[in-house]
Structure 1
């Protein structure tokens, strides 16, 4: 009666408890990988949602603000990637005009654009951090589970040879344990692959939005520079005419 109970105990806990030590190590490793994967997935989904929400708010505040009040929009969402890119451009603008007052417009634009691109890459690296782990789990977990399956089946055949019986009651538990390892591998891999693709797609959209904002920002300050230069030229011409009279 006791033997029959052991043979028919095909619950998940029972399969794990009766598995060989190697198969147990494989299962535990895959379960740990799955837990870490879900932690990364939740973290990234929350982070990207927060980034998008703050970006929309900052973008709206930026274009609805007066030139003298833009810093208010930055202070309200300074931890947002878009706000940090804006701040990098402003800092480069101020630094350039303090040190290189006679620099050409193209030179100023290039410096601002480069500073914003550097900051954008820093922010994107933060968003993409830990995604490599998801990709690794998605690509390797099925094979690790398959290794556990192969090892479990080998043990099943060893049990057949030792018992000198092809009775299904002898073979079934070992095969079930082996297939359970593959199931855990797929359980870890499938969400990792699905959410890796989704998160990568979301980050691509964030990248596109940041690039568009950077281009708009460059154009905005180009217009400001042009307007300032026209005003300076007009003032110089006006003063020269006064001197002639």
Structure 2
């Protein structure tokens, strides 16, 4: 039994190491993705689009060729739909928003899963360590008190590692979820303004 407990401890720490690597990789990937969608350039682009929709009968601006943000994709899609004169613009734009939502929330479930389960994995490691410590106490008796205390100390490291992984992962997940929410709200605003633009253009 003792051998299985020791193997379990090693697997727990291995799982925590893998979880931290995966979480860091997802964090970097999402950080780079959101930097393409948010920032000064994207804010200026969004302001320019809204200004054109409000003040000009015809839209005369163009996005940079390297602009691949959610805003650019949505605006490009809306203009194409309007240019083709297709009906059901409201449903089409709503579908595009849902498509962007999938991209914005991509891989965030990984962070959510790791953030929720890392403390439990660490707790499992602590439980296994305590089992090992008490087994040693029963085998060695009072003479093995030092060994038992060291085993419990090592066991508590598993819980600390679990919290060490979970806390920054939850913070990162909340950060990206908030950014995604802001972008989607801006897309909803753009959707309403494009619908109003099409209506005014039809009247003219």
Q: One fold, TM greater than 0.5?
A: yes
The whole-number CA distance in structure 2 between the counterparts of 1:145 and 1:68 is 56
1:242 alignment partner in structure 2:
none
Q: Deviations over 1:29-75 (max 9, x none)?
A: 112111211222232233223212243132233335962533x2374
Change (3 A) 1:93 1:32: same
Question: Gapped runs of 5+ residues in structure 2?
Answer: none
**Counterparts of 2:123 and 2:16, CA distance in 1:** 11
Partner of residue 57 from structure 1, selected from 44, 60, 69:
44
1:20 is paired with a residue whose SS is helix
Asked if 1:39 is matched to 2:11, the reply is: no
Distance 2:203 2:8 in 1: 71
Question: How far, CA to CA, are the matches of 1:85 and 1:225 in structure 2?
Answer: 21
Indicate yes or no: 2:8 matched with 1:22.
yes
Contact 1:139–1:189, Cα closer than 8 Å, also in 2 = yes
Structure 1: unaligned runs, 5 residues or longer: 1-18, 98-107, 228-245
Structure 1 residues 185, 214: closer, same or farther in 2, change over 3 A?
same
- The answer to whether structure 1 residue 170 and structure 2 residue 157 are counterparts is no
- Residue equivalent to 1:239: none
Q: 1:153 aligns with which of 113, 124, 130?
A: 130
**Larger gyration radius, structure 1 or structure 2:** 1
* 1:165-194: CA deviation from partner (whole Å, max 9, x where unpaired): 254312122112211111111111111112
Map of 2:70 onto structure 1: 81
What's the secondary structure of 2:142's corresponding residue?
A: coil
Shift of 1:161: 1.3
- Residues 1:166 and 1:141: Cα distance change in structure 2 (over 3 Å): farther
Task: Tell me which stretches of 4 or more aligned residues in structure 1 moved more than 4 Å.
Answer: none
> TM-score, length-normalised on structure 1?
0.72
Instruction: Give the match for residue 84 of structure 2.
Output: 95
- 85-94 or 175-184, which deviates more: 85-94
Give the drift of 1:214.
1.4
**Is the 1:30–1:185 Cα contact (8 Å) retained in structure 2?**
yes
